[in-house]
Amino acid sequence: MNDALFPTQADLQSHPVLSDLDAEFQQAMLERARVFTPARDDILFHAGDPVEWFFLCRSGQLKLYRLSPEGNEKIIALIGPGSSFAEAAVFMDSGTYPVNCTALQPSVLIAFDAEHFREGLRHSPDACFRLIGKLSQRLRNRVGDIEALSLQNAQLRVINYLMRLNHEQGDQASFRLPSSKKHIAGLLAIQPETLSRVFAQLQDAGILRVKGSEIEVLDRDRLKRAAEGQELTA
């Protein structure tokens, strides 16, 4: 992984929205871009801060999250290498970030200038289209999250999350959790204790083997059936 202290063409190319744009626009974005290297627990922005940058993660890991007045935290998304975020914030009426962002690991981020992006988009229908596609997809994902929170219990949310993860990593028999269990619990809107218990159940039922952050799928059929039919007693 390239840890250069300046943004490169390669960063642009790997960005889901900025890749394949006309040279002039790319050049303008690149000139105004910065590399940020937050340490673990560094806060990049708070919800409500005015939007100056949007980001591409080159390496490391971050969380986007909301806090309740009592200090409870709901993780909206975990960000890893290759993911971009906060593009939508650039276009919100309020002009502010809707979530907090904190580094979970020492990370390397490319920060692109929000205002320049807005301006450049006016002259690039291609980039507009990419962005619209990205936003629509993200909207669909959020609707999926809302359904999961409203209609599924803790066990079901965990199972579906595991199956999605496993699928993204190529449906291997064995795969890794992308983060600590505490943060995964935050993402699924359950307590770490509950996540631990669900893992224990699935393990006792002979469906999974959990060893640290390594998950081995022992019985894919029953896992899939559990995701629909709701059955763990068998």
Partner DNA sequence: CTCGCGGTTTGATGCGGATCAAGGAACCCC
Partner DNA sequence: GGGGTTCCTTGATCCGCATCAAACCGCGAG
**Contact status: 154 vs DNA (CB under 7 A):** yes
**Distance (Å) of CA 120 to CA 25, 34, 75, 117, 131:** 6, 17, 31, 5, 13
Yes or no: say if 111 and 81 are a contact pair by the CB < 8 Å rule: no
**Contact status: 155 vs DNA (CB under 7 A):** yes
225: CB partners within 8 A, 6+ apart: 231
Stretch that binds DNA, among 53-61, 84-92, 94-102, 151-159 (CB under 7 A): 151-159
**Contact status: 91 vs a second copy (CB under 8 A):** yes
**Contact status: 52 vs a second copy (CB under 8 A):** no
Residue for token pair 């063409």: 9
**Contact status: 69 vs a second copy (CB under 8 A):** yes
Pick from a second copy, DNA, none: which does 155 bind, CB < 5 to 8 A by kind? DNA
**Contact status: 197 vs DNA (CB under 7 A):** yes
**Contact status: 30 vs DNA (CB under 7 A):** no
Say how far apart CA 234 and CA 104 lie, in whole Å: 39
User: Given the complex with a second copy, which of 81 and 98 has the nearer CB atom?
Assistant: 98
Yes or no: say if 21 and 126 are a contact pair by the CB < 8 Å rule: yes
160: CB partners within 8 A, 6+ apart: 148, 152, 227
Binding site residues, a second copy, CB under 8 A: 66-69, 72, 74, 76, 88-94, 98-99, 121-123, 125, 128-129, 131-133, 135-140, 142-147, 149-152, 189, 228
